[in-house]
């Protein structure tokens, strides 16, 4: 089964919590703090795999989670980091944000891509000991791992894409010029999924050709197999547009040619502008006296397209076509790689959400989900940003609450990875 689109949800692991523990030993009356750190949560990492050619695996498994980090323990034992989860996808898979459709990553190279990052492990209490604070009774919780829903969309990587009506001989051409064995038969929609073939031109020179299911008029509205398969020629550097000029199905080559170009335009304007070589096929069964070929040739060359005649069945003209394709490719830009265009949504901070304030001697541990988000957006080396941060804390009445609880100048405020001293 060929599957080229799938929606999955991914969730990275939570960081483990830091531990609160104190050293205990015979004859040592008051041991120091020795609570270890929590381990980091595992991430979800995507890698491209050349042995995969469809997204079928994702039909049966849609949820991916990475391991949580373990909590820290006494004796300064750090919790174990959560293991990463690797997701393999066929090369050429686009990862999009489900909500916005924005492109997060085009998996065309071999570098692993971190899709969601695991949470950080919290620090154990031994980090918080100072000469004046010898028994910190607090530690930090681990932070949550990132989570998101994404759409995987396979766009095959091919230099040349074959387009045309059903039954015109696209698969036959691929089978003649490459070692691929696509299904060939005398009826419409023989090809139900894309086929790739490597075409050798001469020593060390070759290109990849993609054969996709035939397109018909109205494909963009869902007629025939629709036009979704065009995504597999979307990256192609060159299109080879195959037209049956024999009139064997009673159709007009010029109308067919225009109908396909229309459908390309409907799919994506840019695809219709892609360099195209037009090939008149089935010249071996051209009825005597037929004007279809010469009329079509005049029409197409007038429009400025490169034009070839062939019979894929008898291999007439196929080598000339391949040679011309090879030459044309030398002057065309490389296979299209999609740039990421996904924009992280602005972080919304709702200061009405709860914030916990806990006092441990002269240390105040202040925590709440929105605070964590806020801290991640602040650049603490920048005065303006610091003022902004301070203003939000005041507006949220954090300091007011602490004053009511008896905070003194010089006390330490500890918020996630941030520590600063209180000044009224
Ligand atoms: N006489 C003749 N028949 C051909 C030629 N090329 C292909 N055919 C025949 O046309 C029919 C359709 O060929 P395919 O290669 O399956 O056509 P296709 O364009 O891949 O069709 P779809 O997969 O349905 O889109 C088959 O019976 C082929 O044998 C040719 O040059 N001459
Ligand atoms: Mg076919």
User: CA–CA separation, 412 vs 136, rounded Å?
Assistant: 12
Residues with CB under 6 A from ligand 1: 166-172, 184-186, 188-191, 213-214, 281-282, 284-285, 311-313
Q: Looking at ligand 1, which residue's alpha carbon is closest to its atom 7? A: 169
Specify the higher pLDDT residue, 55 or 27: 55
CA 22 to chain centroid? 46
Q: Report the predicted TM-score, pTM, of the whole model to 2 decimal places.
A: 0.85
What distance in angstroms lies between residue 5's CA and the mean position of ligand 2's atoms? 21
CA 2 to chain centroid? 19
pLDDT digits (tens, 9 = 90+) for 30-39: 678 899 999 9
Tokens of 411: 């006390």
Q: Which domains does the chain have, with CATH numbers?
A: 1-155 (2.70.210.12), 160-329 (3.40.50.300), 348-424 (3.30.300.350)
Which atom of ligand 1 is found nearest the CA of 191?
23
What distance in angstroms lies between residue 191's CA and the mean position of ligand 2's atoms? 4
> Which of 117-131, 138-152, 196-210 has the weakest average pLDDT?
117-131
Which pLDDT belongs to residue 257?
97
Judged against a pLDDT cut of 70, whether residue 28 lies above it is answered with: no
What distance in angstroms lies between residue 236's CA and the mean position of ligand 1's atoms? 22
Nearest in space to 326 (alpha carbons), one of 164, 185, 178, 207: 207
Which pLDDT belongs to residue 29?
60
For residue 169, which ligand has an atom nearest its CA? 1
pLDDT digits (tens, 9 = 90+) for 164-212: 999 999 999 999 999 999 999 999 999 999 999 999 998 889 999 999 9
Which residues, 6 or more positions from 15, have their beta carbon under 8 angstroms from its beta carbon? 38, 39, 40, 41, 68, 69, 118, 119, 120, 121, 122, 141, 142, 143, 144, 145
CB 72 within 8 A of CB 37: yes
The pocket of ion ligand 2, defined by CB under 5 A, consists of 171, 190-191
DSSP state letter for 36: P
CB 125 within 8 A of CB 136: yes
> Which of 91-100, 102-111, 199-208, 377-386 has the weakest average pLDDT?
377-386
Which three-class secondary structure state does DSSP give residue 71?
coil
User: CA–CA separation, 357 vs 364, rounded Å?
Assistant: 7
Tokens of 252: 């007009």
Task: Determine if residue 250 is left, alpha or beta; phi over 0 gives left, psi from -120 to 50 gives alpha, anything else beta.
Answer: left
Specify the higher pLDDT residue, 130 or 422: 422
Which pLDDT belongs to residue 344?
83
Q: Which long-range contacts (CB under 8 A, 24 or more apart) does 343-346 make?
A: 343/100, 343/102
Which pLDDT belongs to residue 350?
87
Task: At 360, give phi and psi (nearest 5°).
Answer: -125, 95
Which is it for strands 356-360 and 363-367: parallel, antiparallel or unpaired? Answer: antiparallel
Taking only Cα atoms into account, the Rg of the chain, rounded to an integer number of angstroms, comes to 32
């Amino acid at each position: 089964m060929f599957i080229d689109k799938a929606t999955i949800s991914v969730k990275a692991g939570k960081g483990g919590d830091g531990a609160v523990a104190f050293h205990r030993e015979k004859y040592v009356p008051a041991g120091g703090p020795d609570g270890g750190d929590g381990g980091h949560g595992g991430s979800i990492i995507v890698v491209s795999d050349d042995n995969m050619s469809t997204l079928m695996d994702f039909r049966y498994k849609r949820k991916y989670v990475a391991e949580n980090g373990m909590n820290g323990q006494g004796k300064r034992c750090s919790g174990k980091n959560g293991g990463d989860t690797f997701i393999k996808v066929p090369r050429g898979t686009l990862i999009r944000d489900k909500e916005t459709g924005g492109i997060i990553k085009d998996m065309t190279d071999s570098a692993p891509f971190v899709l969601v990052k695991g949470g950080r492990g919290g620090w154990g209490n031994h980090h918080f000991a100072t000469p004046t604070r010898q028994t910190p009774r607090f530690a930090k919780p681990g932070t949550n791992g990132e989570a998101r829903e994404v759409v995987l969309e396979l766009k095959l990587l091919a230099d040349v894409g074959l387009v045309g009506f059903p039954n015109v001989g696209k698969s036959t051409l691929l089978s003649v010029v490459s070692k691929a064995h696509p299904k060939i038969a005398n009826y419409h929609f023989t090809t139900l999924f894309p086929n790739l073939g490597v075409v050798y031109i001469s020593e060390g020179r070759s290109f990849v050709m993609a054969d996709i299911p035939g397109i018909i008029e109205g494909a963009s509205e869902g007629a025939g197999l629709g036009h979704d398969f065009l995504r597999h020629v979307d990256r192609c550097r060159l299109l080879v547009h195959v037209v049956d000029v024999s009139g064997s199905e009673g159709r007009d080559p010029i109308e067919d040619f225009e109908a396909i170009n229309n459908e390309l335009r409907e799919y994506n304007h840019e695809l219709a502008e892609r360099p195209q070589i037009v090939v008149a096929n089935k010249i071996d069964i051209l009825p005597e006296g037929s004007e279809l070929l010469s009329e079509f040739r005049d029409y197409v060359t007038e429009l400025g397209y490169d034009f070839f005649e062939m019979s894929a069945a008898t291999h007439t003209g196929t080598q000339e076509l391949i040679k011309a394709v090879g030459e044309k490719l030398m002057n065309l830009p490389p296979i299209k790689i999609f740039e990421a265009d996904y924009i992280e949504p602005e972080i919304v901070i709702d200061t009405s959400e709860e914030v916990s304030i806990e006092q441990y001697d002269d240390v105040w541990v202040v925590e709440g989900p929105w605070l964590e988000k806020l801290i991640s957006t602040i650049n603490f080396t920048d005065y303006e940003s610091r003022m902004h941060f301070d203003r939000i804390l005041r507006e949220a009445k954090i300091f007011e609450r602490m004053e009511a609880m008896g905070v003194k100048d010089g006390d330490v405020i500890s918020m996630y990875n941030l520590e600063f001293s209180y000044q009224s």
